[in-house]
A and B are shown apart, each in its own frame.
Chain A
Amino acid sequence: MSDLLTVNGLSRRFSDGGLFRKRKVFHAVSDVSFTLKRGQILGVVGESGCGKSTLARLVLRLINPSAGQVQFDGVDMASLSRTDMRRLRQRMQLVFQDPYSAIDPRYSIRDALLEPYRVQGVKPKSTDDTVSSLLDMVGLNGSLAASYPHQLSGGQKQRVGIARALALNPSLVVLDEPTASLDVSVQAQIVSLLERLRQELGLTYLFISHDLGLVRYFCDQILVMYLGRIVEVLPSDAAPAHPYTRALLDSTFEPDPKRRRSITRLGGEIPSGYDLPPGCAFANRCPRVTDLCRRVLPTLTTQGSGHQAACHHPLAAVPEVVEQRSVA
């Protein structure tokens, strides 16, 4: 499989303040590198504010990086002219976190589905056929074309969001928490739809979520982010080596009362992205912390095949042990 997306040293800082106040710099994404192979599903997990949506916008170049490169299909995106960039945009699409804000409430579903063609200046052969085949592709009834967003359920709106992202035959689809605001039964429908579309259309997904259980089921490979940095890259069935990933996993409640476990309570608060500590950003909450961690920033090192962790004292690769103890 060839690489569709190669991200190298990608960083984004936001600064605020100005003339009279001291300028403060917020590190939203720091030194992120990864590759995404054609046809793969790469998951990105992490808690609120860790930089997942910012990373998505950087990858699609909806915002510019402060440093680093993104190569799409071998082409450095920074090198492209405005026209070439626009042409490339057709091949990479975003599905938003919130299906309620993704579609303009004044557009009919038909207009919403035709919008990507207008924006790109492409004319579909037959607009009626295009709309009905897009609706059909995401399992919606053709009669919905005349409806407006407020007449649709959350799940239907998210299907429209997916149909719109697929309108121009993209290669890469970035899905930013596409099911976060939906019920599990609707989530299951959307996830099955995404699985089918990937097979049929040969899509590559960058799938952002805060739900490690979902990502472990849906994705091939997972990036775990903490405060803007990748702390671990792991195959979705591997046991975590990074203490933060371990804590995330231990906090994920399994839908099985026979596998109850005691919750390892993470102490401390997440530091602010304004003043990051010099060493490991997880040091103030980590049960394995040593003096070294507070002084020296750990870098990603190999833990196994397709598995890297940024930790001075990674956990041994033992099979996952389930405690039979209950939370009670």
Chain B
Amino acid sequence: MLLDLEMLRIRFGAFSPVDQVTLSVDRGEILGIVGESGSGKSLTATAIMGLLPRIGGQIAAGNIRFDGTDLVGMPERQLRRLRGGRIALITQNPMTSLDSMMRIGPQIDQAARLHLGLSRSAARARSLELMADLRIPDPASVYDLFPHQLSGGMKQRIVIAMALAGDPELLIADEPTTALDVTVQAQIVQILVDLVRQRGLGLILITHDMGVVAQACDRVAVMYCGRVVELAQVDALFEHPRHPYTQALIRCIPRHDMAKGTMSAIPGVVPSAAAQPPGCRFNPRCALVADRCRVETPELRVGTSGNGVACHVAEAA
């Protein structure tokens, strides 16, 4: 496995917004992480990047093994060498990664110079090649532009080029298309999928869009209230979702072949971080809730297949 997270718990003071996160991604594989806003997707990505201390958080338990080495407790100096090099992150808003005062090209060059030790001219040649790979029209002209001169989709492609410049083995894309129009979103997702297939990188694709998951991912981790509740192959997840939350989530997605008036919603709301129910966190909204669910927290047990579900009822079935 390229990346292996085991029972990860993230803590901010007395409060643990992410707990029991177990997931893995291999080279040449796309793992989707889905869940509603606040379910802990971005914090998980932040933890993998070793950036939790910057936002005041820490890892309270668990491991993050990257290519066999545990990143938990690794000195910042070593982490810095990995970040932007062997592990790269693409965020939702391209402007968090881009410097508005700096021309596009040199921003892409930076990672290659820092992590691959390339000369200025070699880095430039590599950046132009990456831009062409990402089908940015006329790379040589775009190289000299400033970020504000580009459309949102083009900026996101530049951010992907920056992430690729350090020749990463693991790429984490946190809602890379949420701010974009559908036709542009489709292009960006296609670019990411092609990168995995052609270069054999491992990709963690974080999204709240089940359509993107179905079309692009190999395996999926479903998160609810800071926990992974189901881990499955993409086909199995859509065909036989096991966790009641996954089942309900799939029924919420509008599909054109669905008869009008048949979309079903999940009753109730996501509990706030301060008011998590005891036992299974989904129990106040679950149609299958049993007495046990209100007291005993179901654990995610991952089998040899790499699949698993955290639910008392589904596990017994």
A binding-site residues for B, Cβ under 8 Å: 47-48, 153, 155-156, 183-189, 191-192, 195, 210-214, 216-218, 236-237, 247-248, 250-258, 260-261, 263, 265-266, 269, 327-328
Across the interface, do A257 and B215 meet the contact criterion of CB distance under 8 Å?
yes
Segment among B75-83, B100-108, B259-267, B297-305 that sits at the interface with chain A: B259-267
Across the interface, do A213 and B235 meet the contact criterion of CB distance under 8 Å?
no
Segment among B2-10, B12-20, B156-164, B245-253 that sits at the interface with chain A: B245-253
Q: Known contacts A254-B215, A257-B214, A263-B186: does B193 contact A188 (CB below 8 Å)?
A: no
B276 within 8 A of A: no
Q: Known contacts A191-B254, A237-B256, A251-B185: does B269 contact A257 (CB below 8 Å)?
A: no
Across the interface, do A191 and B263 meet the contact criterion of CB distance under 8 Å?
yes
Known: A47-B183, A192-B263, A255-B210. 8 other contacts (CB 8 A): A47-B181, A187-B252, A188-B266, A195-B260, A210-B181, A253-B215, A260-B215, A327-B193
Q: In whole angstroms, what is the CA distance A192 to B264 when docked?
A: 7
Residues of B with C-beta under 8 A to A211: 182, 254
Q: Closest Cβ of chain B: how far from A168's Cβ, in Å?
A: 26
Q: Known contacts A236-B256, A327-B193, A328-B197: does B264 contact A251 (CB below 8 Å)?
A: no
Residues of B with C-beta under 8 A to A250: 186
Residues of B with C-beta under 8 A to A266: 183, 187
Q: Which residue from B193, B214, B235, B254 sits with its C-beta under 8 Å from A328?
A: B193
Residues of A with C-beta under 8 A to B209: 184, 253
Across the interface, do B252 and A188 meet the contact criterion of CB distance under 8 Å?
yes
Across the interface, do B265 and A251 meet the contact criterion of CB distance under 8 Å?
no
Q: Closest Cβ of chain A: how far from B216's Cβ, in Å?
A: 6
Residues of A with C-beta under 8 A to B111: none
Residues of B with C-beta under 8 A to A47: 181-183
B238 within 8 A of A: yes
B211 within 8 A of A: yes
The 14 listed contacts between A and B (C-beta, < 8 Å) are A47-B181, A183-B36, A184-B249, A185-B36, A185-B266, A188-B252, A188-B265, A195-B263, A213-B211, A252-B211, A258-B235, A263-B187, A327-B193, A327-B215
Q: In whole angstroms, what is the CA distance A216 to B260 when docked?
A: 10
Question: Which B-chain residue is minimally distant from A218 (CB atoms)?
Answer: B254
Question: Which B-chain residue is minimally distant from A320 (CB atoms)?
Answer: B256
Across the interface, do A251 and B183 meet the contact criterion of CB distance under 8 Å?
yes
Across the interface, do B186 and A251 meet the contact criterion of CB distance under 8 Å?
yes
Question: Which A-chain residue is minimally distant from B256 (CB atoms)?
Answer: A216
B274 within 8 A of A: no
Question: Which B-chain residue is minimally distant from A153 (CB atoms)?
Answer: B269
Question: Which B-chain residue is minimally distant from A266 (CB atoms)?
Answer: B183
Q: Known contacts A188-B265, A217-B255, A328-B197: does B183 contact A255 (CB below 8 Å)?
A: no
Q: In whole angstroms, what is the CA distance A253 to B186 when docked?
A: 8
Across the interface, do B187 and A184 meet the contact criterion of CB distance under 8 Å?
no
Q: In whole angstroms, what is the CA distance A251 to B190 when docked?
A: 10
Residues of B with C-beta under 8 A to A254: 211, 214-215, 255
Chain B contributes a number of interface residues (CB within 8 A of A) equal to 43
B51 within 8 A of A: no
Q: In whole angstroms, what is the CA distance A328 to B218 when docked?
A: 10
Residues 172-204 (chain B) with a chain A CB within 8 angstroms: 181-183, 185-187, 189-190, 193, 197
Across the interface, do B211 and A217 meet the contact criterion of CB distance under 8 Å?
no
Across the interface, do B214 and A256 meet the contact criterion of CB distance under 8 Å?
yes
Residues of B with C-beta under 8 A to A210: 181-182
Residues of A with C-beta under 8 A to B74: none
Q: Which residue from A156, A253, A265, A269 sits with its C-beta under 8 Å from B212?
A: A253
Across the interface, do A257 and B234 meet the contact criterion of CB distance under 8 Å?
yes
Residues of B with C-beta under 8 A to A251: 182-183, 185-186
Residues of A with C-beta under 8 A to B189: 253, 263, 327
Q: In whole angstroms, what is the CA distance A191 to B253 when docked?
A: 11
Residues 205-232 (chain B) with a chain A CB within 8 angstroms: 208-216
B119 within 8 A of A: no
Across the interface, do B250 and A255 meet the contact criterion of CB distance under 8 Å?
yes
B141 within 8 A of A: no
Q: In whole angstroms, what is the CA distance A312 to B308 when docked?
A: 53
Question: Which B-chain residue is minimally distant from A217 (CB atoms)?
Answer: B254
B275 within 8 A of A: no
Q: Closest Cβ of chain B: how far from A37's Cβ, in Å?
A: 16
Q: Which residue from A183, A252, A269 sits with its C-beta under 8 Å from B208?
A: A183
Question: Which A-chain residue is minimally distant from B187 (CB atoms)?
Answer: A265
Q: In whole angstroms, what is the CA distance A217 to B209 when docked?
A: 17
Q: Known contacts A217-B260, A255-B238: does B249 contact A185 (CB below 8 Å)?
A: yes
3 tightest A-B CB contacts, nearest first = A253-B211, A251-B186, A188-B252
